């Protein structure tokens, strides 16, 4: 008998990714409707302190998989541990964030469990007693609803920032179940981790993103976007053209071969709107485009468009937002 809806807790250095809380909120609603428990799955080392607080976001139970082998994320270690526990407990669904780690882990776990996987979903709902997911197709040009009625567990990765964190209950705690994980044979070795230090929010979790494309003309000109981002408390992104030109590292890239983002506001500056880029940001709640070409493809998806020279317009926006924030 299937037992519960599971949410994979993605964390780094003891800090839980925002998408985990989003999934717990959505999972809570589904679990209540289905009469099942909501369980969080927390692999790692030294992460037990995180577990009780997950109850505030809806978790009934937290499986803590503590092991030296899970101190750092590896595909083999985490996939073996999560899949082994899933085979034992038989959950009805496993939800993960559509992050770099989530996409990697979900595919491996699904393979080990012999079940299907719905990826890059933008919504989750309950229809006729089963989970139904909305996901983009044709590089974001259309959306479909999909379900896996025969699959157990149902597995899906869901984009960060598309689900709301709601219904938190301060002081509510979850039952903590300590599990000795089976990490199995690990073929990957983490030799070094390179961290980028920034005061700005992480790209996939940011509520506001300011992105630049080929129209920025050079790496030095991203300073005007950074000034705007700092005023708004936003993250800075880049199109593939800007990354390929060497103006920004790949970690800044938004698009089909970069990061998929769903902020509240996405400001595209000097970005033409190639399909590859739109696939990574079209689910943004509000899109603002600044481009001197009135026929630029980005205007087809923009909620607000400004036709003009970004080198004149962006500094003006920065000054106006400074005034608004000050008041």
- List CB contacts of 12: < 8 A, sequence separation 6 or more: none
CB 302 within 8 A of CB 261: no
**Which runs of consecutive H residues, i.e. helices, occur in the chain?**
18-34, 75-89, 100-113, 222-232, 240-244, 275-281, 310-326
E-assigned strand segments in 36-141: 38-44, 61-66, 93-97, 118-121, 123-127, 130-137
DSSP string, 215-244: GG-SGGGHHHHHHHHHHHT-EEEE-HHHHH
Q: Enumerate the β-bridge partners of residue 39.
A: 6, 61
Question: Would strands 15-16 and 11-12 be described as parallel, antiparallel, or unpaired?
Answer: antiparallel
pLDDT level of residue 1 (50, 70, 90 thresholds): very low
Identify the structural domains of the chain with CATH numbers, from first to last. Answer: 5-179 (3.40.50.620), 203-326 (3.40.50.1220)
Q: What angle do CA 104, 118, 250 make, to 5 degrees?
A: 40
Q: What is the pLDDT of residue 14?
A: 86
Q: What is the pLDDT of residue 178?
A: 95
pLDDT digit string, tens, across residues 265-318:
999 999 999 999 999 998 899 999 999 999 999 999 999 999 999 999 999 999
The tokens for 281 are: 């940001």
CB 267 within 8 A of CB 318: no
CB 155 within 8 A of CB 11: no
Q: Please state, in angstroms and rounded to a whole number, the distance separating the CA atoms of residues 234 and 203.
A: 9
Q: What is the pLDDT of residue 203?
A: 92
Question: Is it the case that residue 259 has pLDDT exceeding 50?
Answer: yes
The tokens for 163 are: 């689900």
pLDDT digit string, tens, across residues 221-256:
999 999 999 999 999 999 999 999 999 999 999 998
Q: Is 238 exposed, middle or buried (0-12, 13-18, 19+ CB in 10 A)?
A: buried
Q: What is the pLDDT of residue 320?
A: 96
Q: Please state, in angstroms and rounded to a whole number, the distance separating the CA atoms of residues 91 and 152.
A: 8
The tokens for 18 are: 């925002």
Query: Burial letters for 86-106: b for 16+ Cβ neighbours within 10 Å, e otherwise?
Result: beebebbbbbbbbbebbbbbb
Q: What is the pLDDT of residue 13?
A: 85
pTM score of the predicted model: 0.85
pLDDT digit string, tens, across residues 142-196:
889 998 888 889 999 999 999 989 878 888 889 999 999 988 888 988 888 777 6
Q: What is the pLDDT of residue 327?
A: 84
The tokens for 307 are: 């036709």
pLDDT digit string, tens, across residues 88-143:
999 999 999 999 899 999 999 999 999 999 999 999 999 988 999 999 888 777 88
Whole-number mean pLDDT of the chain?
93
**Phi, psi for 250 (deg, rounded to 5):** -60, -25
Q: Please state, in angstroms and rounded to a whole number, the distance separating the CA atoms of residues 26 and 157.
A: 13
- List CB contacts of 276: < 8 A, sequence separation 6 or more: 139, 240, 255, 256, 257
pLDDT digit string, tens, across residues 41-98:
999 999 999 999 999 999 999 999 999 999 999 999 999 999 999 999 999 999 999 9
Determine the straight-line distance between the first and last CA of the chain, rounded to whole angstroms: 58
């Amino acid at each position: 008998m299937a037992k519960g809806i599971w949410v994979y807790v993605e964390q780094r250095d003891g800090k839980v990714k925002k998408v985990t809380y989003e999934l717990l909120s959505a999972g809570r609603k589904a679990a209540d409707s289905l009469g099942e428990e909501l369980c969080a799955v927390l692999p790692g080392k030294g992460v037990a302190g995180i577990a009780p607080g997950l109850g505030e976001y809806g978790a009934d139970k937290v499986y803590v998989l503590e092991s030296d082998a899970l101190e750092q994320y590896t595909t083999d270690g985490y996939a073996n541990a999560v899949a082994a526990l899933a085979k034992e407990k038989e959950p009805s669904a496993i939800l993960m964030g559509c992050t770099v780690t989530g996409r990697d882990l979900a595919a491996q776990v699904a393979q080990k469990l012999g079940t299907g996987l719905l990826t890059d979903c933008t919504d989750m709902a309950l229809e006729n007693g089963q989970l139904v997911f909305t996901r983009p197709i044709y590089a974001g040009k259309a959306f479909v609803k999909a379900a896996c009625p025969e699959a157990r567990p149902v597995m899906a990765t869901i984009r960060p920032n598309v689900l709301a964190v709601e219904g938190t209950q301060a002081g509510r705690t979850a039952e903590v179940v300590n599990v000795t994980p089976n990490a199995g044979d690990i073929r990957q070795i983490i030799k070094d981790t390179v961290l980028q230090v920034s005061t700005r929010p992480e790209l996939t979790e940011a509520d506001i993103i300011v992105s630049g494309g080929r129209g920025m003309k050079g790496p030095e000109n991203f300073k005007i976007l950074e000034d705007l981002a700092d005023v708004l408390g936003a993250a800075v992104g880049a199109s593939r053209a800007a990354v390929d030109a060497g103006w920004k590292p790949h970690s800044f890239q938004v698009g089909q071969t970069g990061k998929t983002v769903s902020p509240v506001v996405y400001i595209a500056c000097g970005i033409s709107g190639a399909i590859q880029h739109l696939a990574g940001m079209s689910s943004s709640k509000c899109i603002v485009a600044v481009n001197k070409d009135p026929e630029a493809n980005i205007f087809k998806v923009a909620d607000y468009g400004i036709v003009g020279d970004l080198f004149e317009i962006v500094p003006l926006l920065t000054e106006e937002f400074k005034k608004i924030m000050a008041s």
